[in-house]
A and B are shown apart, each in its own frame.
Chain A
Amino acid sequence: MASFETSHKPDPAIGSAASPASDPGLARPAIVIPAYNEEGSVGEVIAEIREACNFPVYLVDDASDDNTVGTARRAGARVIPLATRLGAWGATQTGIRFAAERGHDCVITMDADGQHDPRHVHQLLAALRDCPADTCIGSWPQRGSASRKLAWRLLRATSGIRLEDLTSGYRAYNLRAIEVLTDWRATFLDYQDVGVLSLLRQQGITVVDVRTEMRLRQNGYSRVFHSWLIVFYYMCHTLLLGLSKRRIRSYRAPTSGAVAKS
């Protein structure tokens, strides 16, 4: 039933999950990076990931015009080249499907612009294992301008999702979440925030968020928050989606802190 957990955990110490790979449910994690024209940062991002962990890195190239593919290959990532642009979520889902087909039971998604520090990967995995949860979001609510925070507030109010950082692309999904996200229903979505979170909630997937520190973008820009017209379209689109996917029955808090799984 009410298994969409929105409370956020206090920070588990970084590196406390030194061996999440020993957990039977999270034995084979993979890292998925959607990238569009990120040749300036993607090499360094992959190098940092390989320094922080030895998980396979799948970079989904969203039909970039620059040399993102070559840079990623040289850095040691397996590149999944999309023939046409599918957008950030379409690319991410491709990576998740690819990882699922290869038998990975856990996927961590990260941005290619260097915003996310790969050293927090273990923190996300630890949250998945310890909470336990099916999805963990690395959130950094401090980031963003006042207008972005207002947008988040609006999205939270309309969708009923009470996570702090709705738009963060730094997430870890376990097998249950992967099964939901590889389904065609998830292909219907354009953005990974409200749509994906509503779908997860609908399917009884537990989501927690963990505070992580993020860095300023090394290169590139937010694919959503860089033009007023796109922001307007995005807000209308996401508000409508959040409203239409909102749970009609009132939220029933899980009893005694335990999270029921449907």
Chain B
Amino acid sequence: MLQFLIKRLGQSLVLILIVTVITFFLMNLAPGGPASMMRMDATEAEREAIAERLGLNDPVTVRYGKWLGNAVQGDFGPSLSSGEQVIDRIVDRFPYTLQLAAWTVLFSVVIGVVLGIISARNRNTWKDYTINFGSVIGLSVPSFWMAIMLILLFSVQFQLLPSSGTGDDAGFMDRFKSMIMPVIILSTSTLPTIVRFTRSSMLEVASQNYVRTARAKGVKERTVIYSHALRNALIPVISIIGVLIPRLLSGTVIVESVFGWPGMGRLIVEAAQSRDYNLVMGVTVIATILVVFSNFVVDIIYSKVDPRVKNLA
């Protein structure tokens, strides 16, 4: 087990390193420089001064070296657009993305599994088809379009839900209302997959011998489903959650932009557009660590839950 952990850790570190190299060199290929240099009326002298201050006149490799040296000590440097420490800006925004992601996963898993079971148990009936149809629609509608339609409907027309912001200042109810639409939109990329996975998993498990045996033994139908089939059917579902997390992160970029949600997804877009090199690097590293870590956790859960794998680990 320990050996496995160490190996994974090593692999993850190499991975993160490669990502940083790619991102750094990519960013520096971009035409233009940090936004402060890019004002219409900035004179050449001003631009020079800023470039000098930000250390942009060193060759790219040197700058990467400097960045790496600081990064491993946890110092991602100052954000080029505001001077704040990059790590502070990320820490400010990260909990909001985490909030959305957590609720989306919760919502998707709970509703998804339920719908998947219904679908499997009533396969080829109208219930199954409707759920499937709904899933495909969810997967097919462009998320930002749906977001705008929802805002038009629920915020402008009916004034039921806030069109943006987190409702932080107000009470729990406002915060909850602010999350409803973003979570729903984010779920359109995760919910359908969980539904289908649960369904096919249940179907596969149901045809297994031990289920038939249980049934033959006269065990109550409900027990068959919940104690025997479900538990085993859920195992692959756990693994799919790991795959969905990067997709979720991508989704937050758009959802946070439309709903004015101050999370990390929006931060990277702002950072890339204003050529805030340090911020882009910081966010990419954190996002990579996040994904790697969550995959890791999922693998561990998987190994604990799936008896076949448990015995191997």
Do these two chains interact? no
